[in-house]
Structure 1
Amino acid sequence: MSFSQKKISKKNLEENFPFVGIDFGTTYSLIGCLLNKKIQIFSGKKENSLLPSIVSYKKNEIIIGEKANEITNENFLGTIFSVKRLLGKSIQEIRNLYPTIPYIFSYDENQEVCIETIQGKISLVKITSEILKTLLEKVKFFLQKEVNTAVITVPSYFDGIQRKKIKDAAILSGLKNIRLLNEPTAAAIAYGCHFQNEGIVLIYDFGGGTFDISILKISKGIFEVLSTSGDSQLGGDDFDELLSKYIEKKSNIFTEKNFFLKRKLLILAKKTKLKLSNKDVALVEFENWKGSITRSEFEHLIDPLVNKSLILLKYTIKEALIQKKEITNVIMVGGSTYIPLIKKKLSLFFKRKIEFSVDPDKAVSIGATIQSNLLFNYQQKFLSKENKFILLDVVSFSLGIELMGKRVEKIIEKNSKIPISVTKEFTTFKNNQTVIMIHILQGEDSFVKNCRSLGKFFLRGIKKQDAGKPRIIVKFNINESGFLEVYANEKQTTIKASLKVDFLHTII
């Protein structure tokens, strides 16, 4: 049960404490907890707080994290990387987006997308739950106490279906009380609470699998999101893919039909990318080929993708109804922001030097941890004065309904402030029509096929009349917790119907 459904009583506070913040990342994941008014980001056995988001399925065991990464070569088909990128997509969508991905996909009896492993079909949700479960075990080991309450961060541009899959995985991992929080918003919370600065802040979050931008206004303890945008299919993994193809071409060793070599080459590309963040030249050995890759070669490869992020950046600033010069601070988040070209491009764009003001790896988990301890007023005593604030968020995607001709009528526009309620009037398009289907859609396109379906319901019993005469009132309501309810009724009668979409935004 989520927080919005039932609050935890003071009596049960001790039972549910600690509240944790989880940054579930494409490449790495982290977990934090508030201890003695200080944020503790938990480390593993190797004293590294970054848990590789990798799961390896062997015959009689499941291995997660660094060890899973180490045994990739001996179990490459059973070792799952970047599962976050696959969540909420059909098999066809995955194949279209990632044609070289080596896994064997299928559906289970619940139509969940699965990967075939030596242990059988494993759903993407189940794989995700193993990563979350491992993070929770870190806290349990340290505190000797079960954890069942968490704020989990997601890309701001994750749609409703993707968010629901994260929530399903969280429940499967053992969590009972769950909230989702946009990743760049979490980073802004970490920044605002640490530096106590006010002004307009832009979060540029370039991770391993997703890219997000949010612009927030911080003033007197109020964090107000002005606009948000991004691309859930743009990240460091795409840099690795481009670099692997480049090495393949230089070495003249082609891996198209050899999944083992393909995975080996992707791992090599990732290591080379990391080296080029600190060096001008990286020596590369692939099979029987030896060569080198320069930073300028790498930058030439990824330049179009970095420019794509800048186009989204301009668009987000425009949607925030501000000028570029009004932005007081730019916060870089995510592992890809270590790449020198990104820092250079951002500095040129803003015409000032851009440096890290918060830890790019830990900012999101720190913000999620702070927010997890601000769910209820009576918990304020656990936080220091400077870590108390109010968060005002926005809708990440436009919401609407299907009209005749498979077109979309937007009812709530993207970046509308939450809470919000909008009502529109519609009518029938056939004579004597007694039933209307209300198909709820999420997205910016004008056509149904290019938007996400969030659900359907029917308004039945409409009085028989000529087309255009019935007056159908449709109301979209999003409450302060980000939950959407859609109501429909005929104005001239008492008939009505509704649908609740409880995984739309799920913010704090």
Structure 2
Amino acid sequence: MPKAVGIDLGTTNSVIAVMEGGRPEVIVNAEGARTTPSVVAYKGDERLVGQIARRQAALNPQATLFEVKRFIGRRWDEVSEEAARSPFKVKEGPGGSVRIEVGGKDVAPEQVSAEVLRKLVSDASAKLGEKIKDVVITVPAYFDNSQREATRQAGEIAGLNVLRVINEPTAAALAYGLERKGNETVLVFDLGGGTFDVTILELGDGVFEVKSTSGDTHLGGADFDQRIVNWLSDEFKKEHNFDLRKDPQALQRLIEAAEKAKIELSNASDTTISLPFITFDPETRTPLHLERTLSRAKFEELTGDLLKRVREPVQRALSDAKLDASKIDEVILVGGSTRIPAVKRIVKELTGKEPNESVNPDEAVALGAAVQAGIIQGDSSLGDIVLVDVTPLTMGVEVKGGMIAPMITRNTTVPAKKTEIYTTAENNQPGVEINVLQGERPMAADNKSLGRFKLEGIPPMRAGQPQIEVTFDIDANGILHVTAKEKTSGKEASIRIENTTTLDKGDVDRMVREAEQNAEADRQRREKVEKRNALDSLRVQALQQIEENEGAGQGAKDKLKAAADAAEEAIRQDDDSKIADAQKALEEELRTFMTAAQSQQAAPQGSEGAAGTRAEDDVIDADFKPAE
């Protein structure tokens, strides 16, 4: 049975892991790296994913997509500010959803994430020697229903069977607590590239029980980077009266430099940002350069409001768990942005404890997801592990007066199911519209609408007489399913979902087909490149043999050189049939040449002639002289 894997689908980087010998292990990608940049580049019909996509971003900024996790499952009005600062074009899609324009086509964030997932699984399949199909994918604990469903759809588009969607901090706690036997209360502080989560868990006797979770899905390392970008742009504008943020190539270089500077400031008190030829003077066309020194103190000044925002979710999580900070046994840091010294200081200040850094912040989430995958597959080495998670946000329905009537409150253990009875507000009302909401505000308009369900065909009755049974059912993935029926008449009505940001079944099926077609096209392109490279390697080998075998006959050399030249021409013309013919011809000529060369080396050497003397006879040893 093929193994199931765990995937941390990150904003900045993604990681894949598997259970091996009772322990979770990270699977390196094709480039030999343990993390894969969550970057996808479109170059014509070709798609580049990971480090190769990241390397060409500065030259292809409008078709190199990164940090797409910030848009997945979101509505346009939620992300318009983040969209404005991207070098690529993010715009409003159908039903208020988000789309990214690349090469004249609109792609959904789910499609981009599917490319990253496909790359991870393809590389891992090659390493493990078996085709991977079953996966556990992690999401931020504070992801809402639409974002969770969109992440699952990304897995489906990639051709994967998503066994479970698991919260990132919970996964990190699984990785941390796998081999611990005592009882502990753990706070997981997860500040990644695009999102921030705080989760409090109780660990003991194989049970991982989430007590509370809180967070901010608009706060992450990318926001810290953006403050550096804005500072550099503003400083440059003061000096040259030109806004670098309006130039996609310059903006891409600024984003890359800002991330690098942020990382360097985790270990140094200051860093120099140097970007030569960042743009040209619009009047004189002379090149302009950017060079600034950024100190850690200045960086903390630029990000002061962001640092304040990490405090409230920690305090809210403690309050919801009904715990004092002194009751926390360990604080686990997850996510690359927790390496920022100011963040570590705040964590220590809020909890009174030095953070535990025994887990790798970049890999812990994927390792925990692999543990969850092993649990689902019944891995006997894991013993009896029970994972009890919670829903991050309150879910309810809109009632008369524009209020929200909570059905399932935040931090309720999942899976969860709740049924409530509602009725009509007017006489002879033929139907009702059920607006499903998620959020903590009392007014419906201030919360996120997950969808509007229409229940129609209610028989004529007085107001208040119909009995409309609404059921909320949250599965283990934290994904909500809603049903409704009218009880008094015994009539059940169908429910139609409208105005949701996730893709409908038709869109998903179409994207799956497109992904399969692209995968086949990518395979063909890869095979073509491999054939070209194989022929070129053989050509170089043939030329080396001509040089190394000086004793071979000139005729054999000429024939092999001609075959090598024909191979070079076939590669230049990029013709598949000519490449195949040239490969065959060059292999034959090389075999013939090597046989002739080996025969020449094995032939006996003749004497100098009967009348001559051997050369050795004329040589006098310097240490030898006749006796006196």
Q: What is the TM-score normalised by the length of structure 2?
A: 0.72
Q: Tell me the distance in 2 between the aligned counterparts of 1:176 and 1:479.
A: 16
TM-align CA RMSD: 2.4
Instruction: Give the letter aligned to residue 42 of structure 1.
Output: I
Q: Tell me the distance in 2 between the aligned counterparts of 1:349 and 1:113.
A: 36
Return the structure number with greater relative CO, CA threshold 8 A, min gap 6.
1
Look up the match of 1:10.
Answer: none
Kindly tell me: are residues 455 and 362 of structure 1, through their superposed partners in 2, closer, same or farther at Cα, counting changes over 3 Å? same
Q: Secondary structure at 1:205's aligned position in 2?
A: strand
Deviation at 1:102, TM superposition (A): 2.5
Q: Tell me the distance in 2 between the aligned counterparts of 1:22 and 1:399.
A: 27
Look up the match of 1:405.
Answer: 401
Q: Which moved more, 1:34-43 or 1:19-28?
A: 34-43
Contact 2:428/2:459 (8 A) holds in 1: yes
Look up the match of 2:544.
Answer: none
Instruction: Give the letter aligned to residue 62 of structure 2.
Output: L
Look up the match of 2:624.
Answer: none
Look up the match of 2:618.
Answer: none
Look up the match of 1:27.
Answer: 12
Contact 1:487/1:499 (8 A) holds in 2: yes
Look up the match of 2:518.
Answer: none
Look up the match of 2:320.
Answer: 319
Kindly tell me: are residues 430 and 234 of structure 1, through their superposed partners in 2, closer, same or farther at Cα, counting changes over 3 Å? same
Contact 1:184/1:364 (8 A) holds in 2: yes
Cα deviation 1:358-387 (Å, max 9, x = unaligned): 1111100000001001115xx232x244xx
| 2:430 aligned to which of 430, 434, 441 | 434
- Structure 1 residue 79 and structure 2 residue 64: aligned? yes
Kindly tell me: are residues 80 and 36 of structure 1, through their superposed partners in 2, closer, same or farther at Cα, counting changes over 3 Å? same
Instruction: Give the letter aligned to residue 290 of structure 2.
Output: W
- Structure 1 residue 184 and structure 2 residue 155: aligned? no
Instruction: Give the letter aligned to residue 454 of structure 2.
Output: F
Q: Secondary structure at 1:116's aligned position in 2?
A: strand
Q: Secondary structure at 1:373's aligned position in 2?
A: helix
Q: Which moved more, 1:425-434 or 1:267-276?
A: 425-434
Kindly tell me: are residues 339 and 36 of structure 1, through their superposed partners in 2, closer, same or farther at Cα, counting changes over 3 Å? same
Q: Secondary structure at 2:52's aligned position in 1?
A: helix
Q: Which moved more, 1:480-489 or 1:236-245?
A: 480-489
Q: Which moved more, 1:127-136 or 1:92-101?
A: 92-101
Q: Which moved more, 1:272-281 or 1:434-443?
A: 434-443
Contact 1:22/1:365 (8 A) holds in 2: yes
Larger Rg: 2
Kindly tell me: are residues 331 and 488 of structure 1, through their superposed partners in 2, closer, same or farther at Cα, counting changes over 3 Å? same
Which has a greater percent of strand?
1
- Structure 1 residue 474 and structure 2 residue 456: aligned? no
Cα deviation 1:215-248 (Å, max 9, x = unaligned): 1111211111111111111000000001111122
Q: Tell me the distance in 2 between the aligned counterparts of 1:487 and 1:81.
A: 37
Q: Tell me the distance in 1 between the aligned counterparts of 2:95 and 2:397.
A: 27
Q: Which moved more, 1:104-113 or 1:145-154?
A: 104-113
- Structure 1 residue 208 and structure 2 residue 168: aligned? no
- Structure 1 residue 116 and structure 2 residue 83: aligned? no
Map 1:1-40 → 2, pairs under 5 A:
14=1, 17-40=2-25
Contact 1:54/1:81 (8 A) holds in 2: yes
Deviation at 1:46, TM superposition (A): 4.1
Instruction: Give the letter aligned to residue 367 of structure 2.
Output: I
Look up the match of 2:37.
Answer: 52
Q: Tell me the distance in 1 between the aligned counterparts of 2:420 and 2:109.
A: 38
Deviation at 1:487, TM superposition (A): 4.0
Look up the match of 1:9.
Answer: none
Cα deviation 1:463-486 (Å, max 9, x = unaligned): 433323434333333355645443
Q: Which runs of 4+ in 1 moved over 4 A?
A: 106-112, 479-483, 497-501
- Structure 1 residue 264 and structure 2 residue 237: aligned? no
Q: Which moved more, 1:248-257 or 1:359-368?
A: 248-257
Contact 1:215/1:227 (8 A) holds in 2: yes
- Structure 1 residue 372 and structure 2 residue 373: aligned? yes
Q: Secondary structure at 2:146's aligned position in 1?
A: helix
Structure 2: where are the runs of 5+ without partners?
279-288, 503-628
Kindly tell me: are residues 59 and 436 of structure 1, through their superposed partners in 2, closer, same or farther at Cα, counting changes over 3 Å? closer
Q: Which moved more, 1:59-68 or 1:225-234?
A: 59-68
Kindly tell me: are residues 290 and 491 of structure 1, through their superposed partners in 2, closer, same or farther at Cα, counting changes over 3 Å? closer
Cα deviation 1:312-343 (Å, max 9, x = unaligned): 11011101111111111110000000111111
Deviation at 1:160, TM superposition (A): 1.3
Contact 1:59/1:119 (8 A) holds in 2: no
Identity rate of aligned residues, in percent?
33
- Structure 1 residue 154 and structure 2 residue 163: aligned? no
Look up the match of 1:7.
Answer: none
Deviation at 1:123, TM superposition (A): 2.6
Q: Tell me the distance in 1 between the aligned counterparts of 2:230 and 2:478.
A: 42
Kindly tell me: are residues 465 and 62 of structure 1, through their superposed partners in 2, closer, same or farther at Cα, counting changes over 3 Å? closer
Kindly tell me: are residues 70 and 421 of structure 1, through their superposed partners in 2, closer, same or farther at Cα, counting changes over 3 Å? closer
Which has a greater percent of helix?
2
Look up the match of 1:445.
Answer: 441
Q: Tell me the distance in 2 between the aligned counterparts of 1:92 and 1:437.
A: 23
Look up the match of 2:184.
Answer: 199
Q: Tell me the distance in 2 between the aligned counterparts of 1:488 and 1:74.
A: 53
Contact 1:91/1:105 (8 A) holds in 2: no
Contact 2:28/2:124 (8 A) holds in 1: no
Q: Secondary structure at 2:267's aligned position in 1?
A: coil
Q: Tell me the distance in 2 between the aligned counterparts of 1:25 and 1:94.
A: 18
Structure 1: where are the runs of 5+ without partners?
1-13
Deviation at 1:393, TM superposition (A): 1.2
Q: Secondary structure at 1:163's aligned position in 2?
A: helix
Instruction: Give the letter aligned to residue 473 of structure 2.
Output: N
Deviation at 1:37, TM superposition (A): 2.2
Q: Tell me the distance in 2 between the aligned counterparts of 1:295 and 1:107.
A: 38
Kindly tell me: are residues 290 and 419 of structure 1, through their superposed partners in 2, closer, same or farther at Cα, counting changes over 3 Å? closer
Map 1:482-497 → 2, pairs under 5 A:
482=478, 484-497=480-493
Q: Which moved more, 1:279-288 or 1:95-104?
A: 95-104
Q: Secondary structure at 1:234's aligned position in 2?
A: coil
Q: Tell me the distance in 1 between the aligned counterparts of 2:42 and 2:210.
A: 41
Q: Tell me the distance in 2 between the aligned counterparts of 1:115 and 1:393.
A: 33
Contact 1:485/1:499 (8 A) holds in 2: no
